[in-house]
Amino acid sequence: MNGIKGSGPMGFQAGIGGSGPGDPNYTPIWKISFNTWKDPSKARILETVADITAMQQAGMITVIPAHGGMHAVNCPFFDPSTVFAHQSKG
């Protein structure tokens, strides 16, 4: 892995979700992939799955599914109002 240093689990950019709560395609189950810049000096922040796809098609990054695509994690997104409502119940 390489790219722009950040808060992600590998020390680089944080992960990108494909959808969020309210989206009919949303699921809390994520398939994990690792993206590596072919030329790290050209790395930039990617914000969407479409950004990843575009960079892969342009030959800028390599996308490697974790454990051959057989690795998934349960990592739900929560709407901020839901989180704040539960925090206030303390």
pLDDT at 89: 64
Residues 34 and 66: beta-carbon distance below 8 Å: yes
pLDDT at 46: 94
Those residues of the chain that have pLDDT short of 70 are 88-90
- Based on C-alpha coordinates, what's the Rg of the chain? 15
Number of domains in the chain: 1
Domain that holds residue 59: 1-90
pLDDT at 77: 80
